[in-house]
């Protein structure tokens, strides 16, 4: 009886922790916050007063919409590691929200018949010099692109090291439609220095010099299907200016994908023009 009197009942603990008794029962079932004692006769739950900080931390973590399973993992870690786990979780939330925001913008433009597209994307032009590029081609589905593009790029960058390294921004050329009905082909290209390419035997070609229209995207916009809005914007701009696409559209990846956040500039959607 003395041990029970040193504990707080579930009602008292809930009030002081700013939680409902229902929530405490759920946390018990999920293994997030177990009571310190359960009366075997009545089933009443009791908690030590020292558990209040843990309970209040759960309240704060739930304020981040953190799932209970993730909260349990955080609570099991020592302070510094728990802080890092929270930071990783929130970075994931920000990436997801940024992607959803871009998708919402894409849907708004699509459902409004393209209204507002020119406000979303600034179209510019530039001259691109002739480039010698290492290449890798594949027929591919949209859902495979996020995996294939970085892996293919890494393979070609590794190969480029044998010829003096990368001499320009890698880019992906879409020689055919990649959607629910088409699988490309898609070509990954990594520029190298022609002066250091003696004895080159790997698949390669010369990318002709050209002028291109392009728009710059942040990382969160480089997702399918919202990236299609950027392509639409460039082609609409070409049509409005009486210009014609001179070659296949491409994505130019000028940033280190692993080091940038959702709001950082990451990629250009470009179309050669004539």
* pLDDT at 118 (0 to 100): 67
Q: What is the DSSP letter of 245?
A: B
Torsion, CA 92, CA 98, CA 104, CA 110, rounded to 10:
-120
For residue 43, give the 3-state DSSP assignment: coil
Q: For 233-264, what is each residue's pLDDT tens digit?
A: 999 999 999 999 999 999 999 999 889 988 89
Q: For 158-191, what is each residue's pLDDT tens digit?
A: 999 999 999 999 999 999 998 888 898 999 999 9
The residue among 181 and 87 whose pLDDT is bigger is 87
Is the pLDDT score of 222 beyond 60?
A: yes
* pLDDT at 223 (0 to 100): 83
How does strand 204-207 pair with strand 265-273? unpaired
Cβ atoms of 266 and 217 closer than 8 Å: yes
Is the pLDDT score of 104 beyond 90?
A: no
Residue partners of 192: CB distance under 8 A and separation at least 6: 132, 133, 134, 160, 163, 164, 165, 166, 167, 204
User: Mean pLDDT over residues 116-128, rounded?
Assistant: 85
* pLDDT at 108 (0 to 100): 78
User: Mean pLDDT over residues 218-230, rounded?
Assistant: 86
**DSSP states along 74-85:** HHTS-HHHHHHH
- Residue 140 CA to residue 80 CA, distance in Å, equals 43
Average pLDDT across the chain, whole number:
91
Domains plus CATH for the chain? 2-76 (1.10.1660.10), 117-273 (3.20.80.10)
Residue partners of 170: CB distance under 8 A and separation at least 6: 153, 156, 157, 188, 189, 190, 191, 252, 253
């Amino acid at each position: 009886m003395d041990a029970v009197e040193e504990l707080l009942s579930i009602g008292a603990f809930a009030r002081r922790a700013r939680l409902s008794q229902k929530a405490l029962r759920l946390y018990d079932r999920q293994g997030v916050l177990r009571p310190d004692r359960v009366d075997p006769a009545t089933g009443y739950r009791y908690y030590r007063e020292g558990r209040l900080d843990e309970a209040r931390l759960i309240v704060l973590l739930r304020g981040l919409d953190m799932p209970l399973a993730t909260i349990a993992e955080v609570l099991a870690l020592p302070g510094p590691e728990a802080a890092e786990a929270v930071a990783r979780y929130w970075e994931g939330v920000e990436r997801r929200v940024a992607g959803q925001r871009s998708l919402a913008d894409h849907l708004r433009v699509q459902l409004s018949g393209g209204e507002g597209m020119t406000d979303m994307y600034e179209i510019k032009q530039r001259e691109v010099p002739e480039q010698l590029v290492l290449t890798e081609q594949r027929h591919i589905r949209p859902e495979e692109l996020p995996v294939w593009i970085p892996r293919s790029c890494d393979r070609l960058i590794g190969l480029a090291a044998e010829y003096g390294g990368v001499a320009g921004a890698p880019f992906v050329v879409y020689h055919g439609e990649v959607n629910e009905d088409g699988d490309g082909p898609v070509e990954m290209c990594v520029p190298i220095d022609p002066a250091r390419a003696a004895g080159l035997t790997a698949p390669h070609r010369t990318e002709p010099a050209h002028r291109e229209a392009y728009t710059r995207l942040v990382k969160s916009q480089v997702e399918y299907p919202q990236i299609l809005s950027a392509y639409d914007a460039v082609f609409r701009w070409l049509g409005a200016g009486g210009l014609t696409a001179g070659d296949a559209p491409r994505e130019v990846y000028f940033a280190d994908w692993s080091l940038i956040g959702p709001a950082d500039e990451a990629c250009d959607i470009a179309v050669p023009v004539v």
